[in-house]
Structures are given as structure tokens and as C-alpha cells.
Amino acid sequence: AQKVTQAQTEISVVEKEDVTLDCVYETRDTTYYLFWYKQPPSGELVFLIRRNSFDEQNEISGRYSWNFQKSTSSFNFTITASQVVDSAVYFCAPSYLSGNTPLVFGKGTRLSVIA
């Protein structure tokens, strides 16, 4: 089965620090989608970003940025100037075969931002 690895199980930072969450995936496909989801303490997974494998432009959205590197099969997520509200579990999830297979979730990274 194709895998996704989020090597960091838990990260703890002090408010206003920058933090990067790592994601490495395995695939033999040339066309696939990559997602990041956030799961706050309330439990509902919230969509953050979708990228397709043809678009290697890095993206910035407010305090969030994503670094997609196809050559290393990595799709890392950075939060700049972290806030307590960023505390959550973050999941990286690829969907292979042009999106025609279900999302494969990593085990998640629990981020704690301390005031």
C-alpha cells in the first residue's frame, strides 16, 4: 500500500514561533492530489489546502505556507508566528490515481502552541 509519513508525532512551540510540519509520501503515480487537514480539539477535520501533482508552486495563505517538492515526495506545512488557536492535530493526506482512490492519511502531528 502506498504510504504517507508524518515523522513528528508531537511538537510544542511557544506562541509567535514559526513551526514546520513534515510530510513525506510514497507514490508511483504521476498524477495525484495532496491535502492538509487540521483537527482542532472539537474533533472535526477542517480542510486547509489541496495541491495537484502538476503544480509545484509553493503557496502562502496568511500565516500558512506550503512547500511541495515532487523530487523528494514531500509536502511540508509551515505556520508563521504561531498562535494558541493553531493547537490541533494536523494531517497530511495524498489521494492517488488522479484522485480516484480514497485519501491515505498520515498518523498526524499534534501541535501545541503555548502562550
Nearer to another protein by Cβ, of 11 and 103: the residue is 103
Distance CA 19, CA 86 (A): 10
Nearer to another protein by Cβ, of 42 and 71: the residue is 42
Residue 88 C-alpha from the chain's centroid:
12
Nearer to another protein by Cβ, of 16 and 102: the residue is 102
Q: Is 85 helix (H, G, I), strand (E, B) or coil?
A: helix
Phi, psi angles (nearest 5°) of residue 98: 60, 25
Which residues contact another protein (rule: CB under 8 A)? 1, 9, 33, 35, 37, 42-47, 50, 91, 95, 98-100, 102-108
Q: Minimum CB separation from another protein for residue 114, in Å? A: 21
Q: Minimum CB separation from another protein for residue 57, in Å? A: 18
Closest CA to 70 of 18, 23, 9: 23
Nearer to another protein by Cβ, of 12 and 18: the residue is 12
Q: Minimum CB separation from another protein for residue 6, in Å? A: 8
Non-local CB neighbours of 51 within 8 Å, separated by 6+ positions: 33, 34, 35, 59, 66, 68, 75
Q: Minimum CB separation from another protein for residue 81, in Å? A: 26
